[in-house]
Amino acid sequence: MPIFRGKFRRFACFGATLLMPVPFAAVAFGQGKVISIDVPGSQQYTFLTGINAGFVTTGFYIGTDNAAQHGFIRSAQGIFTTFDVGPGTLTSPYSINAGGDVTGFYAGSDARSHGFVRTAQGTITTFDPAGSVTTLPTSINSAGSVAGYFQDAGGVSHGFMRNPQGLITIFDPPGSIETMVSGGDLIGSSTGTYVDANEVKHGFVRNARGTITSFDVPGSLCTVANGISSGKVAGYYCDETFHLHGYFRNSEGTITLFDVPGGVSTVASRIAGNMIAGSYSDSNFQQHLFIRDGQGAITSFDVPGSVAVGALGVNELGGVAGIYSDNSSYTHGFLRIP
């Protein structure tokens, strides 16, 4: 995972929610099959970070060299293809689209993070927005457009969109002193979170024409946007008691709040179609995972043997990809198949 430097640490909470110290809800469909995933030859460390509609997944792992970090793609049949952006790099795929194209970041000999796109045929293109010292792509849509954010030499983060031809547009919401883009969608919209001069976090949506709309959950201390699908946003907010709750914002801007019944902290991490995946903590501070469908029904599920979990990807059919830690503090990937 990237090392946050300078003002990137303002966004440390975003990373923490993916593996946060986080009952059972109305069931819309079965719990599904949950399987543990480790890349053959991996050493204590496999991250499953993205999933597409065909249940093809991507992520990264540390191999038998116990030093270099490698990327991988896993087919729906369980076949692994591993890759590196270059020799000696730390390769971190983060998102995969319907066609099998992958985006993510890598660190080379300069110890800086750079963006990359790997096509389904295996061609890798690297990139950085102008002025970037750390580039973090977060999603790739079916057209090949990449959304993400980067840090400049002054330690300030900004959002970017990269079109399929490689043209990069840099942006910040009005009033932002830090911008983190968490995802993009099929219609060219992106979403994320920005920090204002008072250190308050707000959500935003940027449409394909470049218009940015800021939003907050009414009465919240902070609003974090974690994913977008056809203009619909999922994320979480912090209330006046510093508890976290999930929300869904439709494409017209109406916000629906939700919690997993019995949970004391709910984090919506990703959205695809009408499916929202995330994690929550119960009253004993045990972590669990959930998926919420388009009717608002929530299904809770667990990874056997897990002590900490994070949902990092979801598809339109209710498939969920993510990570968990076991009692030995090893990190593994998991895949939920509905």
Residue-level length of the chain: 338
**Residue 330 covered by a domain:** yes
Looking at the domain assignment, is residue 227 inside a domain? yes
Domain assignment present for residue 150? The answer is yes
The count of other CB atoms within 10 Å of the CB of residue 205 is 23
Residue 9 belongs to some domain of the structure: no
Tokens 């469909």 identify what position? 29
Does any domain span residue 139?
Answer: yes
- pLDDT score for 86: 85
| pLDDT attached to residue 108 | 82
Buried b (16+ CB within 10 A) or exposed e, 211-230: ebeebbbeebebbbbbbbbe
Give CA–CA dist 54/253, Å, rounded.
Answer: 30
Q: Is residue 232 part of a domain?
A: yes
Q: The domain spanning residue 251 has which CATH number?
A: 2.130.10.150
In a domain, 293, yes or no: yes
Parent domain of 263:
17-337
Give how many domains the chain has, as a whole number: 1
Measured between alpha carbons, how far is 70 from 92 in angstroms, rounded to an integer? 7
**What pLDDT does 66 receive?**
63
User: For each of the chain's 338 residues, which pLDDT tens digit applies?
Assistant: 333 333 333 443 443 333 322 222 333 335 689 999 999 989 889 999 999 999 999 999 998 766 689 999 999 999 999 999 987 789 999 999 999 999 999 998 888 999 999 999 999 999 999 999 999 999 999 999 999 999 999 999 999 999 999 999 999 999 999 999 999 999 999 999 999 999 999 999 999 999 999 999 999 999 999 999 999 999 999 999 999 999 999 999 999 999 999 999 999 999 999 999 999 999 999 999 999 999 999 999 999 999 999 999 999 999 999 999 999 999 999 999 99
Question: Is 3 within a domain?
Answer: no
Alpha-carbon span 26 to 160, nearest angstrom: 38
